[in-house]
């Protein structure tokens, strides 16, 4: 039986990249967008879709809402399950829309891309994986009192 050949050992390995530090004059970015705010946002709080004053939204809950809407549009969940999260007009549109997403398996939403165009408004866009063909779901939420309600949605 042949013996394995020993591999040469390197004495020291140089670092792959130099260390980066935002204090060295480089731009401070949050996430992947260079146009994002210059300061890092506060950690998420327990409000369903962000504090009324405008702090960071809880993307996990927004994704859950988008997932529920995608399941309704795929015919896998009754619309009554989210009736309390939609305005009357948006709920009527959801019921009238019926099954808009044709899929053999349950849809799976990705992370939401969230925008706050004005105070009290959240707009998000989610990629809905439906198997061979993915869809996009856009949702607009508005604060009404202390509650966030879906006022409009669109899918393509």
Crossing angle of helices 59-73 and 88-97, rounded to 10°: 40
pLDDT at 153: 93
Q: How far apart are CA 70 and CA 83, in angstroms?
A: 14
pTM (two decimals)? 0.63
pLDDT of residue 142: 93
* pLDDT value of position 11: 57
User: Exposure of 61 by Cβ count < 10 A (0-12 exposed, 13-18 middle, 19+ buried)?
Assistant: middle
pLDDT along the chain (156 residues), means of 10: 70 55 49 44 48 55 92 92 93 91 89 91 92 91 90 90
Contact 114, 57 (CB under 8 A): yes
State residue 3's pLDDT score: 78
């Amino acid at each position: 039986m042949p013996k394995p050949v020993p591999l040469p050992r390197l004495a020291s390995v140089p670092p792959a990249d130099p260390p980066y530090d935002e204090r060295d004059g480089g731009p401070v970015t949050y996430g992947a967008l260079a146009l994002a705010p210059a300061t890092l946002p506060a950690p998420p709080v327990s409000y369903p879709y962000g504090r009324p004053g405008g702090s960071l939204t809880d993307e996990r809950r927004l994704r859950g809402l988008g997932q529920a809407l995608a399941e309704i549009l795929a015919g896998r969940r009754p619309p009554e399950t989210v009736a309390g999260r939609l305005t009357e007009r948006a709920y009527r549109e959801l019921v009238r829309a019926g099954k808009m997403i044709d899929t053999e398996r349950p849809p799976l939403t990705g992370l939401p891309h969230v925008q706050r165009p004005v105070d009290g408004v959240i707009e998000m866009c989610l990629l809905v994986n439906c198997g061979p063909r993915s869809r996009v779901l856009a949702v607009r939420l508005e604060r009404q009192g202390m509650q966030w309600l879906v006022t409009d949605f669109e899918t393509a």
